[in-house]
Amino acid sequence: MIRAVITGVAGRMGSTLARMVRDQQDMKVVGGTERKGTAPIGLDVGAVAGIVTLDVPVMDDLARALERGQGQLVIDFTSAESSLEHARIAAERGIPLVIGSTGFSPQAKSEVARCAKKVAIVMSPNMSVGVNLVIKVARELAQVLGESFDVEILESHHRMKKDAPSGTAFRLAEEVAAVLKRGPSIF
């Protein structure tokens, strides 16, 4: 049984992750966190996520949540700033981490890479197999079409999306730009 701690558990993605982990036969939600001073602190993770009560309180400190639930995995889809701090904590404790947050500066990406030398970290702006296949195909298209073509990436998403352009669009642009040996121009 993999004991997972979900960060940002009261958010749309955090709640979804809590439901998904709860539905896995080989996983269990043993912790959930939210930002200090927010309303969900102290409430039950299951209640906050809109599922059955799990008898797991929402905490404002990842290290304490890991200790309390004897966490073996952290799943983090919060923000670049929070995810970086969570990477440091996970690395210190030797707990693997999945990061789905976006908006990392080059320095923050480097710091996550340093943490990944101490502990397994999976980091992607989009965890969808289909989207990652699109990124791979776009890279291959750029190789075949080469310098004589211009590339434009357009995206649309729901109005509640926090980051626009999205981390997925940035990743797609980075991959194509790297193949074409151009800097991505995103605005």
**Catalytic residue list:** 157, 161
How many helices (H) and strands (E) in the chain? 7, 6
Measured CA to CA, the distance from residue 177 to residue 147 in angstroms comes to 10
Contact 30, 5 (CB under 8 A): yes
Local structure of residue 62 (DSSP, 8 states): H
Could you tell me where the DSSP H helices lie in 3-151? 12-22, 45-49, 62-69, 80-93, 106-115, 129-145
Instruction: Tell me the three state secondary structure of residue 129.
Output: helix
CA max distance for the chain? 59
Local structure of residue 93 (DSSP, 8 states): H
Q: Which helix (H) or strand (E) holds 4?
A: strand 2-7
- The letter for the amino acid at 92 is E
CA R_g for the chain: 18
